[in-house]
Amino acid sequence: GQLTFEIRGDLQNDGSLQETAAIHSRWLTSGAGRGDATLTGGDLGDLEVTATECWDETFGRVFYADSADWQPAEGAEADCALDAAPYPSL
């Protein structure tokens, strides 16, 4: 399956401006999947941040990375059940 959606809110959770995130989530019948996101606006200004998270059949995270180093990178992208796709556009 797959789902693409957009959300707006104070995604940095600092009580100030609202950011926008476009998220493209894909998964296999086993439950393993991948989510790719693009975040812009608000406190990010002109910066566009991309993030990817992958999980296994038990929904355990196997990979995470974001272009702003908001969280430490984890795992290897090669462990993702699905290959990379273009980041969603806003």
Q: What is the pTM for the complete model shown?
A: 0.87
Which two structure tokens, joined as six digits, stand for 22?
């476009």
Reply yes or no on whether the pLDDT at 20 is more than 70. yes
Instruction: State pLDDT tens for residues 56-81.
Output: 999 999 999 999 998 999 999 999 99
| Predicted confidence band of residue 87 (pLDDT cuts 50, 70, 90) | confident
Per-residue pLDDT, 88: 80
Q: Could you tell me if 81 and 75 are in contact, meaning their C-beta atoms sit under 8 angstroms apart?
A: no
Which two structure tokens, joined as six digits, stand for 42?
């608000």
Q: Report how far residue 52's alpha carbon sits from residue 23's, in angstroms, rounded to the nearest whole number.
A: 10
Pairwise pLDDT comparison (42 vs 63), residue with the higher score: 63
